[in-house]
Amino acid sequence: MDIRAQVSMVFHLDKCIGCHTCSVACKNVWTDRPGAEYMWWNNVETKPGTGFPTLWEDQSHYKGGWELKGRDGNKKLELKSQNKIDSFVKLFYNPNQPGLEDYYEPWTYNYANLFEAEAGDDQPTAIPVSLITGEPMNIEAGPNWDDDLSGSTFYAENDINLEELSDEEREQLFEIERISMMYLPRICNHCANPSCVASCPSGALYKRGEDGIVLINQDVCRGWRACISACPYKKIYYNWKTGKSEKCILCYPKLETGQIPNCFQSCVGRIRYLGVLLYDADRAAESMKVPDKALVESQRTAFCDPFDPEIIKMAKANGISDEFIKAAQLSPIYKYVMKWKIALPLHIEYRTMPMLFYVPPLLPVMGKMANGIYTNALDNFFTSLDKSRLPMKYLARLFSAGNEDIIEYVMKKLMAVRYYKRTLDMQDIDLVMMNKMMREGGTTPEEAEEIYRLTAVPTIDQRFVIPEIQREESIESTCNPEICKGSCGIGVIQPPTRGL
C-alpha cells in the first residue's frame, strides 16, 4: 500500500442558495487579470441546465476523462482525448477543444461615455465592449447564462443527464407545477487519477505529494492545451494573454498556513467542508477499472481508515506527519464519505477519481402524491422517492454513474435524519414510527444526531480541519513502478510554482 494524504472537500447541496459569493470571492483573488477574465475556477450551475462551458458533460463531443478498455484480467484505462497515433496531431488541431463560443466573450462597459458624452437629446449609455478586442460587441452569452432557468425548455431540457429519462418522466419533470432545481458549485476535483496530468506533453501538471492538490507549473507549461481537452470537468482554462493554462490551486498559499480557501471561507450557505482523507495511491487507477455502476463502491476501497494502527504505521513510513494523521481522524470528509456514506463524487464515470464529494439535495425529492399535493407525510416518506420531483435517475447520472440504489440509500438516510429531528423538535415522539424510519433509513438515533450536528450546527473548526503544511517535510516520491508509468505525476514533488 502507498498511503497518501489528500485535502478533500464535501459540498452539502441542500444548503446551497446559489448566491455565487464563492465564485466572486475566487475571481477577486485569482482571475481578475488580463487573459483570465472568462475563467471561473469556481462556478455555480443550475441543474437541470447546460452548465459552463456549455454542455461540458457531453463527453461524446469533448472527449474528456478515461475510457475502460480490454477484457477481464487485462483491463486498462486510456485517455479519451488522445492516443499514441493522434496525440501529436491534436497538439495543432483538436476538434474536441472548447472554443470561446462555448465559454463567452468577456466584456466590460464603456462607463466613461456616461460622463463624457456630448450634450444631446438622448440619455448617454454605457455600451458593452469586448475585453479581448476592445471593440463594441453584442452580449450573447455569459457565465451562468442559464442561471435559475431550470424548467425552461430552452436550457434545462438540453441537460444531457436527462438523456435516459422516458418521455413520461420528462413530461413530469417539465410539468409546470413540478419544476424543481438545484445548484451545483464546481471547482477542480483535485482527482487522484487525473487525466489532465497524464495528458500534458510538457509534464507541467502534477499532483502534490503532501496534500494531493493538482497544479500547473507555469514555468514548464507550453500552452499545448492537451489538459483542457483531457479534463472532463473542463476545469482548466487557457490564458490568452500569457499563453499558458491555469486552474484552481485550492488556495494552497492559504492552506499552507492553516487558512481556509476563499470559496470555502466566503460560502454564505455554509455548505462547504474541508478535511484530510488518507488513500492508497496504489488503488487509485485500479479502483477505476470496474463497470460504471460499481465505481462509487470501488472508489471507497481506496480510502483508508485513519484510526487503523497498520494504516497509521504505513502513513508515517510514507512521511505523513502526525498533524496530518490527526486531521484525517477528525476529518468531516471521512465522516460524510466513509462513515455515513452520504457524500458522493460527481460523474465518477469519467474515471479520474474525483476527490471532492457532494451530499445530493433532498429538497427536490419530495414526491407528488395522488391528490396532487407535494408531501413529505410520514408514511409516504420513502415511497415518495419513486415520484420525486427530481427523478432518482437524474441524480444517479450526476452522483453515482447511474446506480440508483446508491442515491436511494443516501436519500433514505437524509429523510430519516430529518424525520428524527422533527419528531424531537415537535416533542411528538412516536417511538414505533421513529424506529421504523431509522430502520428504513439505515441509521440510528445516535448517528442521526451526529449527522444533524455536523450538517446544521457545526462550528467552523468542525467544518474545516486543516493541518498546517510544511513543505520541507513533504513526502518524497514513492511511486509504485507497477502502476506508475511516469506520466501521472502523482507523488512527484516539484518546486513551488511561480505565480500560480
Give me the residues that bind ligand SF4 (CB under 6 A), please: 16-22, 44, 183, 185, 188-191, 194-196, 214, 231, 233, 235-236, 247, 266-269, 271, 352
Nearer Cβ to ligand SF4 (270/421): 270
Nearer Cβ to ligand SF4 (267/434): 267
The whole-angstrom separation of Cα 184 and Cα 204 is 29
Helices 392-399, 404-425: inter-axial angle, 10-degree rounding? 110
Nearer Cβ to ligand SF4 (355/416): 355
Residue 8: all three cell numbers together? 478533500
Residue 406: all three cell numbers together? 446508491
Instruction: For the CB of residue 153, give the shortest distance to ligand SF4 in the complex, in Å.
Output: 25
Contact of 12 with 271, CB cutoff 8 Å: yes
Residue 302: all three cell numbers together? 481506496
Among 215, 201, 200, smallest CA distance to 495 is for: 215
Cα–Cα distances in angstroms (integers) from residue 128 to residues 35, 112, 125, 233, 389, in the given order? 18, 12, 10, 30, 39
Instruction: For the CB of residue 195, give the shortest distance to ligand SF4 in the complex, in Å.
Output: 5
Instruction: For the CB of residue 24, give the shortest distance to ligand SF4 in the complex, in Å.
Output: 9
Q: Got the DSSP string for 10-29?
A: EEEGGG-----HHHHHHIII
Nearer Cβ to ligand SF4 (80/235): 235
Instruction: For the CB of residue 247, give the shortest distance to ligand SF4 in the complex, in Å.
Output: 5
Contact of 436 with 407, CB cutoff 8 Å: no
Start-to-end C-alpha separation, the chain: 32
By beta carbon distance, the residue nearest ligand SF4 is 269
Nearer Cβ to ligand SF4 (285/448): 285
The whole-angstrom separation of Cα 94 and Cα 92 is 7
Cα–Cα distances in angstroms (integers) from residue 48 to residues 156, 185, 223, 499, in the given order? 5, 13, 33, 36
Instruction: For the CB of residue 115, give the shortest distance to ligand SF4 in the complex, in Å.
Output: 34
Residue 433: all three cell numbers together? 414510527
Nearer Cβ to ligand SF4 (78/305): 78
Instruction: For the CB of residue 470, give the shortest distance to ligand SF4 in the complex, in Å.
Output: 24
Instruction: For the CB of residue 116, give the shortest distance to ligand SF4 in the complex, in Å.
Output: 37
Query: How far is residue 54 CA from its own chain's centroid?
Result: 16
Instruction: For the CB of residue 334, give the shortest distance to ligand SF4 in the complex, in Å.
Output: 21
Instruction: For the CB of residue 38, give the shortest distance to ligand SF4 in the complex, in Å.
Output: 17
Contact of 494 with 217, CB cutoff 8 Å: yes
Nearer Cβ to ligand SF4 (185/261): 185
Nearer Cβ to ligand SF4 (269/367): 269
Nearer Cβ to ligand SF4 (185/275): 185
Contact of 266 with 22, CB cutoff 8 Å: yes
Residue 103: all three cell numbers together? 465559454
